[in-house]
Structure 1
Amino acid sequence: MFTSELVFIPSPGAGHLPPTVELAKLLLHRDPRLSATIIVMNLSLGPKTHTETHPRLRLVNIPCDESTMSLITPKTFLSAFVQHHKPHVRDIVKGIITDSNSVRLAGFVLDMFCIDMIDVANEFGAPSYTYFTSGAAMLGLMFHFQARRDDEGYDATELRNSESEVLVNTFVNPVPVKVLPEVVLDKEGGAKMFLDLAKRFRETEGIVVNTFHELETHALEHLTHDESLLPPVFAVGPILNLEKKTKTSEDELIMRWLNEQPKSSVVFLCFGSMGGFSEEQVKEIATGVERSGQRFLWSLRQPPPKGKIESPKEYENLEAVLPDGFLERTSSVGKVIGWAPQTEVLSHPSIGGFVSHCGWNSTLESMWCGVPMAAWPLYAEQQLNAFQLVVELGVAAEIRMDYRTNLRGDGSEMMVDAGEIEDGIRKLMSDGEMRKKVIEMKEKSRAAVVEGGSSHTSIGTFIHHLMNLLV
C-alpha cells in the first residue's frame, strides 16, 4: 500500500512553524493514507518550538549557518532566504522519494512566504498548495492590490502618508490607509516582493487558510464567489496547539497566582514572540495599567537593539525600567513576568481581557478562549487585524490601531501615552456587548472544528481535492 507524502515548508517564525505542525498533525489524523515531512529552515533567532509528535510525521532540520545569517536584512530577507534553501529542499525531497518504494509524493504545502518553492515542486511534477497563516480578509487585500497593480498599473505605494481609505472586497468597511501593512506602502521594493507572493498564490492548486467561516464570513464568501479567478480556498481553522505542555517552575508560579484571582478580573498584557518596548514606553504602560485599577498579568520584554532582527529578551532589572515603586504599589493586584504560556493563561477563568499585538495566532486563541481584546498592533499585518477586530467584528477595544513598531532602527519610535492605555483597558473590561460577541465567537470556533462543522468539512474537502490529483 502506498503512503501519500505531503511536504510542508513553513517560514521559520513563531507565527508560522507551530501552525504548520498542527495542520500536518490534523491531516494525518483525518486520513491514514497520508504521511508528512516538515522541512524546517532554521534561523538562530530563538528557541526551537517543536519536535516530532506523530508516527507518520517527521521534521527535517536544515541547520542555520553563517551563510544563512548573512541573508538577514530587512529588505531582502524573505526572497533571499527561500532562494538559499531551494537546493537543500530539493535534495531532501529526492531522498524521500528514493528511500522508499511505498511512498509517492502527494504534494507540497507551502507557507505564504515560501511560495517560491513552487519551482522545486514543479521539478518533481508535484502539486503545490499555499498555507496562509493569517486571515481571509488579509488574503483578499493581497489579491486586491496585486490584481490592480498587474491589470491597471496601480501603485499602492503612492498611498503612503495618505489619510484616505480604500475599498477592498473582503472588508465590509472602507479600510484606512493608516492600517494597511507597512510592506504594501514600501517604495523600496518591499511592496513588489509582497504582491509578487500573491501572484504566485494563484499558481497553486488551492489555498489553505487558518480561519473559520463564522469568523470571516464576508471575506470567505468573496474569495469563493468566482472560482475561475482564484484557486479554491479551504478555511480549516482555528488551528491551535492546545496540548498540555510541560510546565516550568515559572509557569507554575503564574498559574498559582491566577488561581487566587476572581473570575474574569485580570487583564493579560502580552505582545507575542517579537513584542518588546522601550523603557519610555514601558513607563507609560505601567502608568496606564495602574490608573485603570484593574488586576493585571503583564508579560514584559525588552526590544532588540536598533537595526537588529532578533527575539526580545527579558529585562534583567524590572525595577530599573518600571516607574519608582510600581511593583510595590501593585503587588496585591498585579504580576509582571517574562515569557508567558499564552494559551494556558488565556484559558484560565480569571482572565477577563487581553491587551494584544493582534497577531493572527493570538487572535484565534483569544476567540477560542472567549476573551475580548484591546488592540495594540506592532508590525506586519497586525494593524489590519486590529481594524478587523475593532471595526468589522466588534470583539476588541482600541488602544491604537495605527501604532507601528519601528523595525528599521532609524531612531524614531511611536509612543502611546498612559491615558490611551488606561481608556483602552477600561473599555476592554467594561463593555458587555463586546464580551457577549466574543463568547458567541468562542462557541462558533469550537463548533467549526467538530464533525459537521464548517472547518471540519473544509479539511475533508481539501483532502479529497488532494487525493483526486493523485488518481
Structure 2
Amino acid sequence: MKKAQLVFIPFPGLSHLVSTLELAKLLINHDNRLQITVLLIHFSCSKETDVYIKSLPISDSLNFINLPECYVPPNTNPRAFFDALIEAQKPNVRQAVSDLITGEQHGPLAAFIVDMFCTTMIDIAKEFSVPTLVFLTSGVACLGVNFHIHTLRERDNIDPTQLLQQTEFAIPTFANLVPSYSLPSSVLGKEWESLFMSFVRGLKNADGLIINSFEELESYAVHSFSSHPELVGLPIIYPVGPILTPETKSKSIVEPDDIIKWLDDQPPSSVVFFCFGTSGSFDEDQVKEIAHAIENSGARFVWSLRKPQLKGAMAVPSDYSLSDLSLVLPEGFLDRTRGVGRVIGWASQTQILAHPSTGGFVSYCGWNSILESIHFGVPIATWPIYAEQQSNAFQLVIELKMAVEIALDYKVEFKGGP
C-alpha cells in the first residue's frame, strides 16, 4: 500500500525550519502510513540553515527537495523581503508537487503543512484540491493577539493611529489586560499594516492551525478558542507541543564540548545562561554595560554573545573573533571573569539548559526557548528584544507567573532578517 503524501513548506529561518522538521519526524513516528516531502527555500543569507539541512538524515519516509533560488530585487523593503521571497517560489512549488504526485512510487497527496509565514502557498494547495494546515512556532496566546488586532482593524475599522493611542488591550487569550508595549510593532505599526493584515488573512484561510504549545501551559488561551465569541468559528487549533529543538553542531569561539566540560566542574544550579537567539544582538556600548553588570553580580555565567549584522544588511548576527571580542568587552573582562564564566558565540542552547549546573536563563523570550527552558526546569529572567517576544514575556511574568522580569517593555525595531 502506497503511503499518503504530505508536503511541508518551512520558512527558511533556522528556528522555524528546525521546529518544522521536528514536527515532521513526530508525524512519521506516529503514523507509518505517511510519507513527507519537505520543500526547502533558500536565500543568499541562509548559510546556517544550509549547514543544518546538509546534516539531516534522509529516510524512506522523509525526503527533501531543494527549490531553485528566486531573485528578489535588492531594493526590496526589508520588511517585505520574505513575503516577496515566498511569493516568488509559488511556480517552483507548483512544479515540485506536480512532479511528486506523477511519480509511480508515490501515494496520493493528502495535505500541505506550511509555516505561518508561508500561507500564500494555500493557493497552490487549492490547485491540487488538498487541505492546508499552518504550523505556528509561537504560542496560542500570541495567536490570539494577531486575531484580535486584525478584528479591531477589519471589523471595527480602527486604524493603526488609533491603536497606538491605546495603552492596553482586552485580548481574548489573556486573562489580564495587555499593555500596548507588550504587543509587537508589526501588529500596531502603520508601516507593517498591509503585511500584518495579509498574514492574519492567511491564517484564517487555513483548514487548521498546528501550534507548538500544550494545554497545560496555555489552558486559558486554548479554552478561549472554543468559548470566546471573537474566536469561535476560526480554524481549529491543534496544540501539539512541546516540540523541542534538538542539539545542533556549532562553530563558536569556544567549542561546545569545552563549555560542557566547564559546566561539569560547576556546582549544581549555579550558572546563569545569557542567550538572545539567532537574531539577537547588542551594540558595543550596551555589550559593555551588560558585561559590567555580569561582573559586578559575581555570578557564574555562560554568555552567548553575537556580533550585530551590518546596518541595512539582510543577515543574522555572526560570531565575534577572539580579537574582536576583546575589543567589544571592557578591558580585562575575560581575564577577570575567567574563573566564573565563559563568553561564547553560537550556543547549543538545549545542551546548556539541560545541564544540571545551569540554574537560570536570561532569555530573549523566543517561543522555542521558553518551551526548552520549561522542559528542563530552568527559571527565566525575561529580556525580550523584538517580534512577539514582549507578549511572551508578559505572558510568562504576569499571566503564568513563571518568570521574573529584567524588562517587559525593552524593544528593538525589527528591520528584517531570517
TM-score by length of 1: 0.82
Superposition deviation, residue 102 in structure 1 = 4.3
Superposition deviation, residue 276 in structure 1 = 1.4
Distance change (3 Å), C-alpha of 1:380 and 1:31: same
Equivalent position to 1:198, from 186, 190, 200: 200
Q: Deviations over 1:406-431 (max 9, x none)?
A: 4449xxxxxxxxxxxxxxxxxxxxxx
Distance change (3 Å), C-alpha of 1:132 and 1:71: farther
Q: Deviations over 1:187-245 (max 9, x none)?
A: 12x12321322222222211100001011000000013368511211000011134x55
Equivalent position to 2:297, from 274, 282, 292: 292
Q: 2: CA distance between counterparts of 1:264 and 1:299?
A: 18
Equivalent position to 1:105, from 95, 106, 109: 109
SS at 1:5 equivalent: strand
- Confirm whether residue 182 of structure 1 aligns to residue 185 of structure 2: yes
Q: 2: CA distance between counterparts of 1:148 and 1:252?
A: 50
Q: Deviations over 1:92-122 (max 9, x none)?
A: 0001101125411000011111011110001
Superposition deviation, residue 336 in structure 1 = 0.8
Moved more, 169-178 or 48-57: 48-57
**Counterpart of 1:41?**
41
Distance change (3 Å), C-alpha of 1:23 and 1:86: same
- Confirm whether residue 155 of structure 1 aligns to residue 162 of structure 2: no
Q: 1: CA distance between counterparts of 2:63 and 2:382?
A: 37
- Confirm whether residue 258 of structure 1 aligns to residue 263 of structure 2: yes
Q: 1: CA distance between counterparts of 2:106 and 2:303?
A: 51
CA contact (8 A) 2:225 2:232 kept: no
Q: 1: CA distance between counterparts of 2:163 and 2:25?
A: 42
**Counterpart of 1:373?**
380
Superposition deviation, residue 11 in structure 1 = 0.8
**Counterpart of 1:88?**
92
Q: Deviations over 1:355-407 (max 9, x none)?
A: 11111111111111111111111111111111111111112221122212244
SS at 1:275 equivalent: coil
Distance change (3 Å), C-alpha of 1:72 and 1:396: farther
Contiguous gaps of at least 5 residues in structure 2 = none
SS at 2:130 equivalent: coil
- Structural mapping, 1:5-404, within 5 Å: 5-45=5-45, 46-47=47-48, 48=50, 49-50=52-53, 51-64=56-69, 67-68=71-72, 70=74, 73-100=77-104, 102-160=106-164, 162=165, 164-188=167-191, 190-225=192-227, 229-242=233-246, 250-316=255-321, 317-404=324-411
Q: 2: CA distance between counterparts of 1:296 and 1:334?
A: 5
Alignment-mate amino acid for residue 30 of structure 1? H
CA contact (8 A) 1:107 1:127 kept: yes
Alignment-mate amino acid for residue 378 of structure 1? I
Superposition deviation, residue 78 in structure 1 = 3.1
- How many aligned positions are there? 405
CA contact (8 A) 1:43 1:69 kept: no
CA contact (8 A) 1:277 1:302 kept: yes
Distance change (3 Å), C-alpha of 1:153 and 1:338: same
Alignment-mate amino acid for residue 335 of structure 2? E
Distance change (3 Å), C-alpha of 1:146 and 1:407: closer
SS at 1:108 equivalent: strand
CA contact (8 A) 1:158 1:185 kept: no
SS at 2:238 equivalent: strand
Equivalent position to 1:405, from 388, 399, 412: 412
Q: 2: CA distance between counterparts of 1:380 and 1:407?
A: 7
Query: Superposition RMSD on alpha carbons, in Å?
Result: 1.9
CA contact (8 A) 1:274 1:312 kept: yes
TM-score by length of 2: 0.92
Q: 1: CA distance between counterparts of 2:363 and 2:392?
A: 11
SS at 1:103 equivalent: coil
SS at 1:307 equivalent: coil
Alignment-mate amino acid for residue 182 of structure 1? S
SS at 1:113 equivalent: coil
Q: 2: CA distance between counterparts of 1:33 and 1:21?
A: 18
Alignment-mate amino acid for residue 267 of structure 1? V
Superposition deviation, residue 157 in structure 1 = 4.5
- Structural mapping, 1:432-471, within 5 Å: none
CA contact (8 A) 1:307 1:407 kept: no
CA contact (8 A) 2:5 2:106 kept: no
Q: 1: CA distance between counterparts of 2:248 and 2:386?
A: 28
CA contact (8 A) 1:71 1:81 kept: no
Superposition deviation, residue 61 in structure 1 = 1.4
Q: 1: CA distance between counterparts of 2:198 and 2:283?
A: 34
Q: 1: CA distance between counterparts of 2:297 and 2:232?
A: 52
SS at 2:155 equivalent: helix
Q: 1: CA distance between counterparts of 2:338 and 2:166?
A: 43
SS at 1:6 equivalent: strand
Superposition deviation, residue 63 in structure 1 = 3.9
Percent identity at matched positions? 46
Q: 2: CA distance between counterparts of 1:232 and 1:156?
A: 28
Alignment-mate amino acid for residue 103 of structure 1? G
Superposition deviation, residue 43 in structure 1 = 2.1
CA contact (8 A) 1:168 1:174 kept: yes
Q: 1: CA distance between counterparts of 2:274 and 2:219?
A: 29
Q: 1: CA distance between counterparts of 2:261 and 2:76?
A: 40
Distance change (3 Å), C-alpha of 1:303 and 1:246: closer
Distance change (3 Å), C-alpha of 1:141 and 1:163: closer
CA contact (8 A) 1:143 1:199 kept: no
